Amino acid sequence: MEKLTKEEVLHVADLARLKLDENEIEDYAYKLKAIMDSISLINSIEVTDNEMTISPSTAKISLFKEQENKTISKADALKNAPNKIDPYIYVGGSIDE
């Protein structure tokens, strides 16, 4: 069974900011390859004469006019955050610019 290289798996993990152990790297090497094969199958379909579809829905876009302020309260905004110091939500670690 084909699989991705370790470097390819680590690259994808890095994009998702995930730390993987050796077993997980091995596991995802196969799983990600299967996903990529499925995508390749879709990509192989000849669609040059078709108009691009961006959504399964054919609904027209509905634009909103400016007037409302549908904000939620600060308390509700912070409610589900695991880390907060009112009025902020925070995350740990130093982040690059």
Partner 1 sequence: MSNYKITVGIEVHVELKTRNKVFSEVLNDTTAPVNTLVNEIDLGYPGTLPSLNENVINYGILTSLALNCTVTKHMHFDRKNYFYPDLPKGYQITQLNTPIGTNGYITLNSGKKIGIRELHIEEDTAKSLHQDNKTFLNFNRAGVPLLEIVSSPDINSKEEAGEYLEKLKELLLYLEVSDCKMEEGSMRADVNVSISKTNDLGCRIELKNIGSIHEIKDAIEQEALRQEQILSNNGTLKEQTRKYDASKKETILLRNKEVGNDYRYFKEPDLPYVDITDEQIETIRKKLVLLPDERRKIYLSKGIIPINVEKIIKNKEYSDYLNNFIDTDLDFKVASNLLLGDISSYLNKELISFSSLSLDKERFKSLVDSLSSKKISSKILKEILSSYLTTTDSIDTILKSKGINLNDNLSDLEAIIKQVIIDNNEAVLDYHNGKEKAFQYLIGMTMKQTKSSFSPQAVKDTLKKLLDN
Rounded to a whole number of angstroms, the minimum distance from the CB of residue 1 to partner 1 is 25
How many CA atoms within 13 Å lie on the side-chain side of 1? 11
User: For partner 1, which is the closer residue by CB, 44 or 94?
Assistant: 94
User: For partner 1, which is the closer residue by CB, 1 or 63?
Assistant: 63
The residue among 1, 23, 28 whose CA lies nearest residue 13 is 28
84-97 burial, b if ≥16 CB within 10 A, otherwise e?
eeeeeeeeeeeeee
Write each residue from 48 to 87 as x if it is in contact with partner 1 (CB under 8 A), else as -, in one continuous string: ----x-xxxxxxxxxxxxxxxxxxx-x--xx------x-x
What does R_g of the chain's alpha carbons equal in angstroms?
22
Our finding on whether 93 is near partner 1 (CB under 8 A) is: yes
Our finding on whether 39 is near partner 1 (CB under 8 A) is: no
Site for partner 1, rule CB under 8 A: 15-17, 52, 54-72, 74, 77-78, 85, 87-97
